[in-house]
Structure 1
């Protein structure tokens, strides 16, 4: 995926699968997790708390498990087949003594110091990628607007040339005047 690919999914809707929920990142993941697991919008406190945990490298499955095990999460049915079983397997893979063996045998992710650091770095890179994508989209929008303005000036210039209220000599004199003077001269020629 490059920075010009934009995620068109809506994190404010319930996820249909665990994979779909985990495919979101950052604040979108937190929003979707609250809606999917708790059946409600995320509050500011919860958003700040879980965003800090994500930034610290906590795994998404651990966050989902925390939400699911809360009293609020136990009362709500998220409607994802196999969710509780997947979370139980994740918790077992992160148990103190047998967890490393389970992770070694199954390849499940853990919450060790190294793994958390790596996820924290990946999270920061993801944030930067999203910001770069937003900056690229903004730059692209500005270029499109500029192209539209240039095309408008071309149409006005063609119209003025066709009506002979301006001659190519006027344009040539305007160009020779320099950037600022050229803009003022062309503007004064076009505006009368």
Structure 2
């Protein structure tokens, strides 16, 4: 394989022309609490809007536990209760469980994270997320970027690219604002989503 073919293969998901596109708005608010120096619990509530952010798409509640193994590694387990809305705004509920292996490395003002997630909701999905953030000198503002791949049914099914910024309005209260591009593929109806997101978290 020559160099140009390798580059084309590497970026081929970005070149897909989606059959359907939508603008969505995702919001999430949560709290986290350190039970001890190694174990923490978090609870958050989210809502997502679709059809150009005009109709509710899904709401969910998350409960998770994270345990720090050593300096750079941690593991987590979690449960999500989900309410889905169809176009007529009829609802259905489902459940999702997951387990995570997390790695983080800090170098000067850079912070790199890698999360490998194994989740189950009707079937199993493996997710690999890499994120990078930078602490700007003399300001608490931290821009970040992330890329995540979804692997299900022996195929890659979806990727997400995120670009945003985090700002601590209070010492224990962080707000994230981001833009996310999501593309599904290896499906009969690929979709491309443009997402404006807002996240808030209070840490005890």
Q: TM-score, normalised by structure 2?
A: 0.19
Which is richer in strand?
Answer: 2
Which is richer in helix?
Answer: 1
Tell which structure's C-alpha radius of gyration is larger: 1
Q: TM-score, normalised by structure 1?
A: 0.19
